[in-house]
Structure 1
Amino acid sequence: MEQNSIKGIPYGLSDYESLTRDNCYYVDKTHFIPLIEQEARYLFLIRPRRFGKTLLINMLAAYYDINNADHFKELFGERWIYEHPTALRAKFMILRFNFSAVNSTPGRLEESFEEHCTGRLVEFADKYEHLFQPGFRQELMSRTTASTRLDYINSTASRLRLRIYLIIDEYDNFTNTILSTFGKDEYRKATHGEGFFRYFFNVLKFLTSGNGMALERMFITGVSPITLDDVTSGFNIGTNITTSPLFNALVGFTETELRTMLEYYSARGALTLGVEELIADMKPWYDNYHFSEECLNESMYNSDMTLYYMNSCLKLGKKPREMVDT
Structure 2
Amino acid sequence: MEQIRKLPIGIQTFEDIRKDGYLYVDKTAFVYQMVHTGKPYFLSRPRRFGKSLLISTFEAYFQGRKDLFTGLAIEQLEKEWIEYPVLHLDLNAEKYDSISRLDSMLARYLSLWEDVWGQEEREVTLSDRFSGIIRRAYEQTGRQVVVLIDEYDKPLIQTLLDETLLDEYRRILKAFYGVLKSADRYLRFVFLTGVTKFAQVSVFSDLNHLQDISSWPDYSSLCGITKEELVRTFTPEIERLGADNGMDFDTILDKMTKQYDGYHFYPHCEGVFNPFSVLNACKAKVLDNFWFQTGTPTYLVDLLKQSDYDLRLLIDGVEVTASAFFEYRAEVKNPLPMIYQSGYLTIKDYDKDVLLYTLGFPNDEVRYGFLNFLVPYYTDVTDDETGFHIAKFMRELSFGDVDAFMERLKVFFAGIPYELSNGTERHYQAVFYIVFTLMGQFVETEVRSARGRADAVVKTGDYIYVFEFKLNGSAEEALKQIDEKGYLIPYALEGRKLLKVGVNFSKEMRNVDKYIVIEE
TM-score w.r.t. structure 2 length?
0.51
Give 2:10's aligned residue.
12
- Code of the residue aligned with 1:206 in structure 2: it is S
Which of 291, 294, 298 is the equivalent residue of 2:265? 291
Q: Aligned to 2:215, what secondary structure does the other structure show?
A: coil
Give the Å deviation of 1:58.
Answer: 0.6
Asked if the contact 1:44–1:241 (Cα under 8 Å) also holds between the matched residues in 2, the reply is yes
- Alpha carbon RMSD of aligned pairs, Å? 2.7
Which deviations, in whole Å up to 9, do the C-alpha atoms of 1:242-298 show, x marking residues without a partner? 00000000000001111112324468x786353322221222221111001251xx1
Give the Å deviation of 1:123.
Answer: 3.5
Within a 5 Å distance, the mapping from 1:132-171 to structure 2 comes to: 136-137=117-118, 139=119, 143-160=123-140, 161-171=142-152
Which deviations, in whole Å up to 9, do the C-alpha atoms of 1:27-80 show, x marking residues without a partner? 000011222124421000001111111111111111111xxx4x412x111211
1:72 aligns with 2:61: no
Asked if the contact 2:14–2:53 (Cα under 8 Å) also holds between the matched residues in 1, the reply is yes
1:163 and 1:151 map into 2 onto residues whose CA distance is 13
Which runs of 5 or more residues in structure 1 are unaligned? 130-135
2:209 and 2:289 map into 1 onto residues whose CA distance is 47
Which runs of 5 or more residues in structure 2 are unaligned? 291-364, 366-390, 392-440, 443-520
Give 2:215's aligned residue.
243
Richer in helix (by share): 1
Within a 5 Å distance, the mapping from 1:1-326 to structure 2 comes to: 3=3, 6-65=4-63, 69=64, 71-73=65-67, 75-85=68-78, 87=80, 89-105=81-97, 108-109=98-99, 111-125=100-114, 129=116, 136-137=117-118, 139=119, 143-160=123-140, 161-180=142-161, 182=162, 184-191=163-170, 195-208=171-184, 213-226=185-198, 230-265=202-237, 272=243, 273-295=247-269, 298-313=270-285, 318-320=286-288, 326=442
Which deviations, in whole Å up to 9, do the C-alpha atoms of 1:159-180 show, x marking residues without a partner? 3313211011111111011004
Which deviations, in whole Å up to 9, do the C-alpha atoms of 1:280-323 show, x marking residues without a partner? 1222221111001251xx1111111111111112xxxx555989
1:228 and 1:157 map into 2 onto residues whose CA distance is 33
Q: Give the paired residue count.
A: 290
Q: Aligned to 1:45, what secondary structure does the other structure show?
A: strand
Asked if the contact 2:238–2:253 (Cα under 8 Å) also holds between the matched residues in 1, the reply is no
2:287 and 2:195 map into 1 onto residues whose CA distance is 29
1:235/1:226 CA distance change after superposition, 3 Å: closer
Structure number with greater Rg is 2
Which deviations, in whole Å up to 9, do the C-alpha atoms of 1:153-207 show, x marking residues without a partner? 1222333313211011111111011004x2x34323332xxx1111112222111
Q: What's the % identity of the aligned pairs?
A: 26
2:58 and 2:103 map into 1 onto residues whose CA distance is 25
2:255 and 2:111 map into 1 onto residues whose CA distance is 47
1:229/1:306 CA distance change after superposition, 3 Å: farther
1:64/1:199 CA distance change after superposition, 3 Å: same
1:231 and 1:173 map into 2 onto residues whose CA distance is 13
Which deviations, in whole Å up to 9, do the C-alpha atoms of 1:202-256 show, x marking residues without a partner? 2221111xxxx33221110011112685412222111100000000000000011
1:118/1:187 CA distance change after superposition, 3 Å: closer
1:99 and 1:83 map into 2 onto residues whose CA distance is 33
1:47 and 1:77 map into 2 onto residues whose CA distance is 28
Greater relative contact order (CA < 8 Å, ≥ 6 in sequence): 1
Asked if the contact 2:149–2:193 (Cα under 8 Å) also holds between the matched residues in 1, the reply is yes
Give 1:133's aligned residue.
none
Asked if the contact 1:169–1:222 (Cα under 8 Å) also holds between the matched residues in 2, the reply is yes
- Code of the residue aligned with 1:288 in structure 2: it is G
TM-score w.r.t. structure 1 length?
0.80
Give the Å deviation of 1:13.
Answer: 1.2
1:252 and 1:171 map into 2 onto residues whose CA distance is 20
